[in-house]
Structure 1
């Protein structure tokens, strides 16, 4: 995927595209997991949560910290490699993976981009939300507690990507926050609400139908 110059819009798109990768290197958590620290909580989340859904809010900060952009939406996942990530405010945008392909839909432009799942996976935040091989793609290290959360730092093993690092916050054994630092110096903080772990979700949740008249590009 082509990288764009830094802007407050870019991190949201990068997070969306990286969510594909979430399909392959995930971080889903279980309220029943027995974890002694944030790293173990993260591994338990990946190991035990088969499916789930949550709402989220996201705050993106410019490199100098003077500008922020807020957005919100919902996401659903089903292991392995299936997810639906939907931004609702202030602009609509959707990413859906059926485990084989990933669809990016921008309703404002009426554009759909389709990529093979394998081409989109790797050391990205998406790898922390719906995948299974987290330790393969990230180096994990416990961080000091802050803001009432226990934190773990996930550093991509692939060093030339757009994502510099991820910080994942747990409240007890529950996934609560995800902070992304990108190569442009911007930071994006996602805070999760009402996370519900499910045994499964309906297969149609992860199917995408191209809207009538949409411009479709396959990569």
Structure 2
């Protein structure tokens, strides 16, 4: 996992955005169900805050990054990190690509092997909520901070992700994804906050095509 700039995989696999129907839902689980049925594509801006467990005598390490996010079902998404460093993460449906500009390196992995029970699989791959229940348990959580919440817990405890808390906000156009709060098995927490989300935009086919720049090392672990 450290190969994907140490803080990322299973968290940003991001991946991914959420709008649904134009009425207020009874709970977060119903809103999530509507999203799974209706959202075909989306784009948003994001801020990610990763908090690592504190070491003895030291405070927790906190890293903040931001950029743009796009997705298209089934199984395609793109994260363009802009601050504090430039990275591009693209899932094209077959391969997951990570371009680290600072390292002048591209890492490529088979998408099916990498994602599995991750937030990306949770929100971009399946056509409806029932299709995810083989891998996740879902539970509505109490409303908080003006959001409706759903907790998704992988059924296989040996995975990297311990739980994913999804926060949704009712808007005039429907229900928007506001927060993905991911807790991993090593005690690291990653909170993705989405803004300016657009539901079902028409995205260019090239959005999810990645070609390694000339002269960049391509690693296929």
The two structures share one fold, judged by TM-score above 0.5: yes
Unaligned runs of 5+ in 2: none
Structure with the greater alpha carbon radius of gyration: 2
**Alignment pair present for 1:95 and 2:70:** no
Q: For structure 1, which segment, 57-66 or 170-179, has the greater mean C-alpha deviation from structure 2 after superposition?
A: 57-66
**Alignment pair present for 1:10 and 2:6:** yes
**Alignment pair present for 1:143 and 2:141:** yes
* Alignment of structure 1 residues 105-144 onto 2, 5 Å: 105-132=99-126, 133-144=131-142
- State how many pairs are aligned: 208
- Using the alignment, how far apart are the partners of 2:68 and 2:135 within structure 1? 25
* TM norm structure 2: 0.85
1:31 CA drift (Å): 4.8
Corresponding position of 1:170: 168
- Using the alignment, how far apart are the partners of 1:71 and 1:101 within structure 2? 24
**Alignment pair present for 1:49 and 2:39:** yes
Partner SS state of residue 10, structure 1? coil
- Using the alignment, how far apart are the partners of 2:7 and 2:155 within structure 1? 20
1:27 CA drift (Å): 6.4
Unaligned runs of 5+ in 1: none
**Alignment pair present for 1:154 and 2:156:** no
1:166 CA drift (Å): 0.5
Partner SS state of residue 210, structure 2? coil
1:29 alignment partner, one of 19, 41, 55: 19
Consecutive aligned runs of 4 or more in structure 1 exceeding 6 Å deviation:
none
CA RMSD of aligned residues (A): 2.1
Alpha-carbon contact 1:38-1:142 (below 8 Å) kept: yes
- Using the alignment, how far apart are the partners of 1:201 and 1:192 within structure 2? 18
Partner SS state of residue 94, structure 1? strand
1:182 alignment partner, one of 168, 181, 184: 184
* TM norm structure 1: 0.86
- Using the alignment, how far apart are the partners of 2:51 and 2:219 within structure 1? 30
Alpha-carbon contact 1:34-1:44 (below 8 Å) kept: no
